[in-house]
Amino acid sequence: MIGNDIVDLSEAQRASNWQRPRFLKKLFSEAEQHYIKTSHNPFVMVWRLWSMKEASYKLYTQLNPSRFYNPKEFQCSIKGNKGTVRFKDFKCYLETKTTSNYIISEARLEPNKLTSTIVKFSTTSHKEQSAVLKSKLLNRFGIEYHLKKREFNIPFLSNGKDNFNISLTHHGNYGAYAIA
């Protein structure tokens, strides 16, 4: 099982207003707001925490197929480029990489190194980006594998015999896929 999430920092800067009233309180716990307020770069910290929550949510929904919106309850703890997220009795481990262009977080049930493959898009079309990302994933595995979806549109790879849990993400000019 794996979850990942990427945030294009230029797109986040352009399209979001994370400093508006109630934004932080709606999405982040008191401890997470403290991370943001004491960070040398609050903007980057906001999007790091968001990517951790999203990656964890994707992992959680692989284990518990459902759809819901409750980011504040996915509680992040950070230590260096690693972290944990807890939600109810669920706990996962994350690794995050921050570049000048993007932030990517990857969630697993056991601590592990980041394995997501990053894709830089040449198109801004959301539909085309999805197609490019899926094509790159399938090219890595070969023609005998197919991208399928479980309940609630949770993706996985299958060749009819073997199944692999995957996670796909894209935002702005960047995308990534990860294979469990």
- Given a contact cutoff of 8 angstroms between Cβ atoms, the answer to whether 89 and 105 are in contact is no
**Res 18: pLDDT:** 87
Q: Domain residue spans in the chain?
A: 3-112, 119-179
Question: Given pLDDT bands bounded at 50, 70 and 90, which one contains residue 5?
Answer: very high
Buried b or exposed e, range 91-114, using 16+ CB within 10 angstroms: ebbbbbbbeebbbbbbbbeeeeeb
Mean pLDDT of 19-31: 90
- 139 pLDDT band, cuts 50/70/90, is very high
Exposure string of 119-152, with b = 16+ CB inside 10 Å and e = fewer, is bebeeeeeeebeebbbeebeeeeeeebeeeeeee
Whether the predicted model's global pTM rises above the 0.75 cut? yes
Mean pLDDT value across residues 11-24: 88
pLDDT band at 142 (very low <50, low <70, confident <90, very high): confident
Domain 3-112, what architecture? Alpha-Beta Complex (3.90)
